Structure 1
Amino acid sequence: MPKAEETVLQIDLKALKHNYTHLRSKLKDNTKFMAVVKAFGYGSDAVEIAKYLQDLNTDYFAVAYASEGVELRKAGITAPILVLHPIPSNFKTIIENCLEPNLYNAKVLNEFIEMASAENQKDYPVHVKFNTGLNRLGFWENDVDYVVSKLKATNAVKVVSLFSHLAASEDLNEKEFTDSQIKSFKTIAENFINAIGYKPMLHICNTSGILNYPEAHFNMVRSGIGLYGFGNSDKENKHLKPIAVLKTIISQIHKIEKGESVGYNRAFISDGFYKTATLPIGHADGIGRQYGNGKGYVIINGKEAPIIGNVCMDMIMVNITDIDCKEGDEVIIFNDNTTAEALASKANTISYELITSVSQRVKREFI
C-alpha cells in the first residue's frame, strides 16, 4: 500500500472481495447473503463498501439505524436494506426510502403497521425478530400467536423474514447454548409459518455462525466482522484478510532526560534517557485512553514502539529509544500483520471496538 503522508485509513477492496468470496463459499447456492454495513461499514466507509459488494451481487444489506439506510439509498444502493434497530420516529423515513424494518416488540409492530396503513402501503416488507437467548431485542416464543394475529389483521405489511441472533457462536465451549438457540428458533419458525400460512426467509447465523454452524444457515446468513477480515478465532482468521490499514507519521521527535515527564498529568516520568515520537492521532481519532501508558503500541520501521503516557485528543507519544527513525517516517497502528485484534487485546477489548472507533475525520483511501 502507498506510504502515509498523514493519518489515513487505507481500505483494500481486493481483501474485501476475498473475504466475501470465502464466506460465500461456505453456503449452499440458494442461501442468500446479507452484508452488515452498519457503523460506517465497521469503521471503514459504508457507502463504498456497499457499492463494491452490490457489484458482487450481495443479496441484502443490514444497517443499525434508518439514517444509515438513507445514506446508502442516496448513494445509489438499490438492494434490500434491513434496519436492525428502527425507532418509531423514523418509520415514515423508512417507508419513504424503501427500507425494511425489524419489528421486535409490540409497540414497534403496532406503530409500524399504523404508519404503513396511513401511507397506503400494501405488503410492505418487514422482518420479525425473536429473542432466543441474547436478551437484547426480539419477541419471545410465546408471542407468536399475538404477532400473527396482528399481521393477519392488516394487508399493509408482509413478513419477508423471521430471524434471531446467536449470543456465543464463536465460542465452541458454548455449543450447547448455541444449539439450544437454533432449536428454539426452528420451533418458533415452524409455529409462525403454520399460523401465518406462508414461508418467510429464516436467518440466525452471524459470521461465526456461518463458519461453525452450517446446519443453521437456513435461507440467509448475515456477516459483519468477517467481511472486514476477522473470524473471531485464530483458525478462521487465517482464511480472512483485514481490509483496513491505519497509518500515520512521526510529527516530532523529542529527547527526554531522566526525571522529565511526558504528556498530560505527567503520567510518564522518565527513569533515564528516552527518545519519543509524537504522532498526529489520538482518542478523537479512535485510539482510546485505554491504550496509553504502555498498554498499546505502534509499529515504526518494523519495531514495536509502546505508547508513553496518556493518549491525548489529537496526539500520542511513543517510545522510539531503540528504533532508527526520523520525523516524517510512516507509522503503522494496525494492518494485516499487526492486526486490530492484536492491538485491541492489549487493552482488554475486541477488534470490533477498535475498528469502529476510527474517527470520520481520518482520511479514507481505497486501494
Structure 2
Amino acid sequence: MSKVGETTLVLDLSALEHNYNYLRSKTKPKTKFLGVVKAFAYGSDMIAIAQKLEQMGVDYLAVAYVSEGVLLRKAGIKTPILVLHPLASNFEDLIVHHLEPSIYSKNILNQFLEAAKEKQQNDYPIHIKFNTGLNRLGFSEDDVDFIAKETKRNGCIKIVSAFSHLAASEDTNERDFSLKQINSFKIVSDTLSSILGYAPMRHMLNTSGIINYPEAQFEMVRSGIGLYGYGNQAKVDAQLKPVATLKTTISQIHQIDAHESVGYNRAYKSKRPIKSATLPIGHADGIGRQYGKGKGFVVINGEKATIIGNVCMDMIMVDVTKIDCQEGDEVIVFGPNNSAESFASSANTISYEILTAISQRVKRVLIGA
C-alpha cells in the first residue's frame, strides 16, 4: 500500500506529448497547431505545459486573458500567443508583451486601434473572431466591410487570422448544425480575404472538431481539452492519456455506529455500522459541494470509496467499510484509471470543470519530463 505525504496534482508531461502527437497525426502536414493553455492550462501548470508545447514545436498558444499571456512571456515563452478574450483596460500590457488579441466587436476594434496608434504600432497582428452560431463572442457576416475598411485605412494593425468556434463538434446529432457553421465561416472568411486583398490564416476546429471534421482544418486547428487527455467521446478518450492525477491520503479512519452522523449538518446518517476515512481535500481545493452526499467517489487500493456527507472546505469523508486500508494510504481522486470525466459525471458535470477547479494551493509535481 503506497503512501503520499499531501494532496498533490501529478502532471505527466509524457502524456501531454502523447496527446499532442496523436492530435497532430489527425492533421495535414502543413496545418498549424494552436495549443490552448488558458485557466492555468486547464487547472494544471500553465508555464510547464507551455514550455513543453513550445519544445514540441507548437505554432501558437492561446490564453483567455492578457494577464495569463503576460505570465507566459515573463517565463520566457517566445511562441505567438493569442488572447481569446482581451479587455480594453489591458491593451497596453498586451502590446508591451507582444500578445495578439482576438478582436470580436466594433467597440473592441476601435479601442484597440486607439491603443495601437498611441503605441505607434505598425501591422500589429490581430485575429478576427466571427460568430457562426455559438452566440458568445464574434462579429457577424454583416461586419466584414467595416472590419476590412478600418484595417486597410489604419496601418497600425494587420489581420493575421480569422476564426470561429463550433458549438457542438462532439455531438453527432448536431452534425448538420456544425456543417452549417463551417460553411458560414468559409463564406465570411473568403469575403474578408477578397476585400483585404490577402488571405489571413483561418482556424475553426477544436479538439472534437479535429477528430470529426478533418475537412475543415483550414490553415490551423486549436486544441485544449484533448491535450490534457480528454476527447469528449469514449473512442477518442481511449487514444489519449490524462495528464493530471489528483492524489491525496487518508488522514484518519473512524468506526461509525448505526444511527451516527458524519460531517456538517449531519448530512450523512448511518443506517448500520460503517468505517469512514477522512481525506485532506475539500471545496477549497476544487472538490465542490455537489460531490457530497453519495455523489462522487475516490479510489483507495483499487476500490471505489463513495463520498459521504457534505464536502467540507478542507476535507471530505468517504465510506471505506469494505476496503482494506489504513491511515496514510494513498487515495486517487482522478487519474488514468479513474478519469476526471468519470469523477465529474458522478455529479452531473464535465471534466473541464473539475480540472480547472483544482486550487492553486494543491502542490503540483511534474513527471515524464
TM over 0.5: yes
Alignment of 1:18-97 (within 5 A): 18-97=18-97
SS in 2 for 1:226: helix
Contact kept, 8 Å, 2:16 with 2:229, in 1: the verdict is yes
Q: Tell me what 2:139 maps to.
A: 139
Partner of 1:243: 243
Asked if 1 retains the 8 angstrom alpha-carbon contact of 2:60 and 2:81, the reply is: yes
Per-residue CA deviations over 1:7-34 (Å, capped at 9, x if unaligned) read 0000000000000000001111111000
Q: Structure 2 unaligned segments of length 5 or more: list them.
A: none
* Structure 1 residue 4, shift from structure 2 partner: 2.4
Q: What TM-score do you get using the length of structure 1 for normalisation?
A: 0.99
> 2: distance between equivalents of 1:21 and 1:3?
33
Paired with 1:259 and 1:193, the residues of 2 have a C-alpha distance of 71
2:133 alignment partner, SS class:
coil
**Counterpart Cα distance in 1 of 2:125 and 2:167:** 26
Q: RMSD between aligned alpha carbons?
A: 0.7
> Are 2:4 and 2:328, in contact at CA under 8 Å, matched by a contact in 1?
no
Q: Which residue of 1 aligns with 2:186?
A: 186
Quick one: distance in 2 between partners of 1:152 and 1:13? 43
Amino acid at match of 2:51: K
CA distance in 2, matches of 1:25, 1:297: 35
For the residues of structure 2 that align with 1:22 and 1:81, how far apart are their CA atoms?
Answer: 22
Measure the CA separation in 2 of the matches of 1:226 and 1:41: 12
Alpha-carbon distance change, 280 to 56 in structure 1, aligned in 2, over 3 angstroms: same
Supply the distance in 2 between the matched residues of 1:235 and 1:301 (Cα, whole angstroms). Answer: 27
Task: Please say if 1:348 is aligned against 2:348.
Answer: yes
- Kept in 1: contact 2:7–2:362 (CA 8 A): yes
Q: In structure 2, what is the Cα distance between the partners aligned to 1:263 and 1:238?
A: 37
- 2:233 paired with 1:230: no
The reply on whether 1:364 has 2:350 as its aligned counterpart is no
Q: Which residue identity does 2:13 align to in structure 1?
A: L
**Secondary structure of the corresponding residue to residue 361 of structure 2:** coil
Rounded Cα–Cα distance in structure 2 between residues aligned with 1:79 and 1:324: 49
In structure 2, what residue type is equivalent to 1:156?
Answer: C
Structure 2 letter corresponding to 1:121:
Q
Instruction: Name the TM-score, length of structure 2 as normaliser.
Output: 0.98
Aligned length: 366
Q: Percent identity, please.
A: 62
Partner of 1:198: 198
2:248 maps to a residue whose letter is T
Question: What displacement does 1:152 show?
Answer: 1.3
How far apart, in 1, do the equivalents of 2:153 and 2:4 lie? 59
1:229-266 Cα shifts (integer Å, max 9, x gaps)? 00110111111000110000000111111121110010
Q: Which amino acid aligns with 2:189?
A: A
Whichever residue aligns with residue 132 of structure 1, its letter is: T
Q: Provide Cα deviations, 1:282-334, integer angstroms capped at 9, x if missing partner.
A: 01101110000011111011111100100000000000111111000000000
* 1:110-145 CA-partner distances (Å, limit 9, x unpaired): 000111011000000000000000000000011101
Q: Report the secondary structure of 2:225's partner residue.
A: coil
- Which residue in 2 is equivalent to 1:209? 209
CA displacement at 1:3 relative to structure 2: 5.1
